[in-house]
A and B are shown apart, each in its own frame.
Chain A
Amino acid sequence: MTVGAIYALVALGFTLIYNSSDVANFAQGEFVMLGGMVTFFGYAAGLPLFVAAVLAIVVAAVVGLLLYRLAIEPARRASPVTLIIITIGASIFIRGVTAIVLDKNFHSLPSFFGNEPFVIGGATLLPQSLVVMFGVSLVLIALWLFMSRTLRGKSLLATAANRTAAQLTGINTRAVTSTAFVISAAIGAIGGVLATPITLTYYDAGTLLALKGFAAAVLGGMGNPLGAVVGGLVLGLLEQFSAGYLSSQYKDAVAFIVILLVLFTMPQGLFGAKSVERV
């Protein structure tokens, strides 16, 4: 469930960017990696854990903004495949810079509330798992409030629904898309901060996370935030169950087989809307 919650955050960030700009951002995992790595180095440099975490989230958000302004926006008119490759190039770049500026070792963070496991009805639970679940819920509630209660959030929804129409009603879609990149980078970094005490992190951790997040987003139905969260949780649960009951070596295999089966029967994912192609 903990892993699933992280996948859900990555998938959510993925969906946000996809909705506002039609870009499938394969650099999404790098935000998670940055969240964990920067927090570790801030903490190691003597900052309190909380301050280091905030710093990491800010760093990731700035990287997200730069990613949009420097790499995505100049290539606005390129085809979707080209844009995907650009985000992959950007993720290689971010990884390279991280390896140089920080380092290439594995790092962990101390758990926020100790390592003594709870026992609830025979099941043991690490405090950090609760922190992850609680943190993810907070992020979801904050995001929902932002989307439904603020003007900026509503203009983001409008841009996602129809970019041209949003522009015609006077929405600055460029600023809105920047916001989407900043928010999803921050969401990714929060995931990284929360998960690192359990999962460790290193400069190359982003690739697999981006992949799983993408898979979760597609499983849930591309562009559907609820689908992204459900997809992430389902993917995490599948992995844990197959690791526990079948074989830990094939846990990723089970996840992908289920995704394939879902797509064969529901080509638009679990919650995807049926789209009609205009000719």
Chain B
Amino acid sequence: MRRFLTSPFLLVGAVAVVVAILPMILPSNFYMRVAALVYINAIAVLGLNLLMGFAGQVSLGHAGFFGIGAYAMALGPVYLGLPSWASLLGGTAVSALLAFLVGRPILRLNGYYLAIATLGMGMLVAMVISNEANITGGPNGMEVQRMVLFGWRVAGSVTWYWISGISLVIAALVVVNLINSPTGRALRSIHDSEIAARVLGIDVARYKLLAFVISAIFASIAGSYLALLDGFVTPTTAGFLLSIELVVMAVLGGLGSILGSIVGAAILVILPQALTVFHEYEHVVLGAIIVVFLILLPSGIVPAIAALIRRRPA
């Protein structure tokens, strides 16, 4: 029983229950759309958290993969005549391939050097997207064809709520499975000490690359979903600010925490929506909240709360 309670699979189950119940509480389609945005961001953050929280490798360039996924949905149908589902897979494959090729040389770097290298990679993707205006529409963005599956037109907030919600549960399941496998233990040992991990015979470069590629795939799929939900893509989906936002979500929610990824995404997606009542004070409040939260809870929201609960005598 006790093992069942501490099981991370229970956590995934709880997330699934929340996803299933939430539509009964949410009053309108607008809220369903916001919830779908939370799930989509959470998928990308989960991947990033695998890389940052478990393998301990910083990336400031994940919006690059996000952008590739999003633009695949716009470009695939128009230029290659691919159906949307094939474009999604194609975009994911391109992201994974890019991560695989760039990953090996980049992941040799440490700390700030890695941060700047990933940032450069993300900026390059964003620059290609916004500069090749005759293909991508440049800063004006591009229309995205709605996905059609077996004659069913996949559109609307409610539809995407379910697709993104179910995908998030699957993504969480994948991550939980992974971190409780020998691979996950290898990743955590790299986080704690790369040299010690190498001494133990762990192929450090290979596992780092694995985490990098998986996180790129997650970000790419999230990007594709966002493009399909919005029906439109702009270069901001690949922009530096999105990379930063994803990192903020991961850190604010808690590095190395699956629930933290979702909580972080929820806060950063919902907060700006809620803060529109403050009009021009929006940025001031957002900045202050990030600073205050991290000063009070430096390990992130979810791990801090978990520690509080654990400290209380049962």
Contact (A81, B251) CB under 8 Å given A92-B290, A211-B240, A267-B108: yes
Q: Are A277 and B290 in contact (CB under 8 A)?
A: no
- Tell me, in angstroms, the Cα distance from A250 to B247 when the chains sit together: 26
A120 interfacial contact with B, CB 8 Å: no
Q: A263–B113 Cα gap in the complex (Å)?
A: 7
| Cβ–Cβ < 8 Å partners of B127 in chain A | 249-250, 252-253
Task: Give A252 to B125 CA distance when docked, in angstroms.
Answer: 12
Q: Are B290 and A86 in contact (CB under 8 A)?
A: yes
Within the complex, what minimum Cβ distance (angstroms) separates B204 from chain A? 12
Is B124 within 8 A of A88, CB to CB? no
Q: Please, which residues of chain A bring their CB within 8 A of the CB of B255?
A: 79, 81
Interface centre among B127, B255, B281, B283 (most CB of A within 10 A): B283
Given contacts A81-B58, A260-B121, contact A91 B295 (CB under 8 A): no
Q: Which B118-137 residues sit within 8 Å CB-CB of chain A?
A: 119-121, 123-124, 127-128, 131
Once bound together, how far apart are the Cα atoms of A8 and B293, in whole Å? 33
* Residues B291 and A263 in contact, CB atoms below 8 Å apart: no
Of B82-90, B140-148, B192-200, B214-222, the segment with at least 4 beta carbons within 8 Å of chain A is: B192-200
Q: Which of A68-97 contact B (CB under 8 A)?
A: 71, 74-75, 77-82, 85-86, 88-97
B305 interface contact, C-beta 8 A: no
The stretch of A175-183, A192-200, A214-222 that contacts the partner chain: A214-222
Q: Which of B22-80 contact A (CB under 8 A)?
A: 52, 58
The answer to whether A267 and B109 touch across the interface, beta carbons within 8 angstroms, is yes
- Determine the distance from Cα of A207 to Cα of B283 in the docked complex, in whole angstroms: 14
Chain B CB count within 10 A is highest, among A71, A81, A91, A215, for A81
A94 CA to B286 CA in the complex, in Å? 11
B288 adjacent to chain A (CB < 8 Å): yes
Assess whether A93 is in contact with B287, with CB atoms less than 8 Å apart: yes
Q: How far is the CB of B100 from chain A (nearest CB, A)?
A: 16
Interface check B244, CB cutoff 8 A:
yes
> Measured between alpha carbons, how far is A97 from B289 in the docked complex, in Å?
14
| Interface residue ranges of B266-308 to A (CB < 8 Å) | 280-291, 294-295, 298-300
Distance to closest chain B CB from A257 (angstroms): 7
- Whole-angstrom CA separation of A93 from B291 in the bound complex: 9
A24 within 8 A of B: yes
Q: Does A17 contact B (CB under 8 A)?
A: no
CB atoms of B282 and A88 under 8 A apart: no
Binary interface encoding of chain A residues 235-279 relative to chain B, with 1 for a CB under 8 A from any of its CBs, else 0: 000000000000001101100110110011001110000000101
CA–CA, A175 to B261, complex, Å?
37
Is A215 a contact partner of B288 (Cβ separation < 8 A)? Answer: no
B158 vs chain A, min Cβ distance (A): 33
* A99 CB-CB contact with B under 8 Å: yes
Do A279 and B284 touch (CB < 8 A)? no
Residue ID in chain B nearest A96 by CB atoms: B283
Q: Which residues of B contact A100 (CB under 8 A)?
A: 280-281, 284
Q: Mark B100-115, 1 if CB is under 8 A from A, else 0.
A: 0000011011111101
The answer to whether A75 touches B298 (Cβ under 8 A) is yes
B99 to chain A, nearest CB (A): 15
Known pairs A99-B280, A211-B119, A256-B123; A89 contacts B294 (CB<8 A)? yes
| B209-267 at interface with A (beta carbon < 8 Å) | 240-241, 244, 247-248, 251-252, 255
Which B residues are in CB contact (< 8 Å) with A249? 127, 131
Q: Chain B nearest CB: distance from A226 CB in Å?
A: 17
Q: Considering the chains assembled together, what is the distance between the CA atoms of A81 and B295 in angstroms? A: 13
- Other-chain residue from A82, A94, A214 in contact with B251 (beta carbon distance below 8 A): A82
Which A-chain residue is minimally distant from B196 (CB atoms)?
A: A279
CB neighbours of A267 from chain B (8 A): 108-110, 113
Given A81-B52, A93-B291, A279-B193, are A260 and B284 also a contact pair (CB < 8 Å)?
A: no
Tell me whether A268 and B113 are in contact (CB under 8 A). yes
Q: Say whether, besides A82-B251, A85-B252, A88-B244, A260 and B290 are in contact (CB < 8 Å).
A: no
Q: Please give the distance in Å from A62's CB to the nearest CB on chain B.
A: 17
Least CB distance, B125 to chain A, in whole angstroms? 10
Q: What's the nearest-Cβ distance from chain B to residue A234, in Å?
A: 14
A96 to B284, CA, bound (A): 5
27 contacts between A and B (CB under 8 A): A71-B291, A75-B298, A81-B247, A81-B255, A85-B290, A89-B287, A89-B288, A92-B286, A93-B287, A95-B283, A100-B280, A100-B281, A207-B241, A218-B115, A218-B116, A249-B127, A250-B127, A256-B119, A256-B120, A257-B124, A259-B116, A259-B120, A263-B116, A263-B117, A269-B113, A279-B193, A279-B199
Apart from A82-B298, A250-B131, list 19 A-B contacts with CB within 8 A.
A24-B115, A81-B255, A85-B247, A89-B291, A90-B287, A96-B284, A99-B280, A215-B120, A218-B112, A222-B113, A249-B127, A252-B123, A259-B117, A260-B120, A263-B109, A264-B108, A268-B113, A277-B195, A279-B195
